[in-house]
Amino acid sequence: MIPYSYYAVLSSILFSIALFGVITRRNGITLIVSGEIIINAAMINFVAGSGGSEGMNGVSYALLILIIAVFETVAVISMLIALSRRTNSTSLQKLKSTRG
């Protein structure tokens, strides 16, 4: 059995990498990928936390988070498609030019 601390370290590393991606990148697709990695880090914590108990609470929370993340990703991708049709780019810096 793998100790919970290993899962916590893995989750922290994934969260740190994704947070760095969110802070430093301005491309919409990169932000979506970084956001998904953050969500996966949270799901690892839920599943690993429920590993010691007999219930499936952590797994059911992780599935709920996964379903919400899919809907969120679809909504953001549709907004990025609308942005790319208007500006011919997925860069979020171009949002300032689309006011009005």
What gap in Å lies between CA 70 and CA 79, rounded to an integer?
A: 14
Three-state SS annotation for the chain: CCCHHHHHHHHHHHHHHHHHHHHHCCEHHHHHHHHHHHHHHHHHHHHHHCCCCCCCHHHHHHHHHHHHHHHHHHHHHHHHHHHHHHHCCCEHHHHHHHCC
User: Domain for residue 99, yes or no?
Assistant: no
Looking at the chain, the whole-number percentage of residues with pLDDT higher than 70 is: 92
Backbone angles phi, psi at 72, to 5 degrees: -65, -45
Instruction: Quote the tokens at residue 13.
Output: 């590393």
Report the pLDDT value the prediction gives residue 27, as an integer from 0 to 100: 84
Q: What is the mean pLDDT of residues 74-95?
A: 83
Instruction: Give the pTM.
Output: 0.80
Instruction: Categorize the per-residue pLDDT at 15 as very low, low, confident or very high, splitting at 50, 70 and 90.
Output: very high
pLDDT value of residue 100: 57
In a domain, 65, yes or no: yes
* Number of domains the chain is built from: 1
- CATH number, domain of 51, equals 1.10.287.3510
Condensed to tens digits (0 to 9), the pLDDT of residues 31-60 reads: 889 999 999 999 998 888 887 667 677 788
- Provide the domain limits for residue 65: 4-88
41 lies in some domain: yes
Statement: residue 19 has pLDDT above 90:
yes
**Average per-residue pLDDT in the chain?**
86
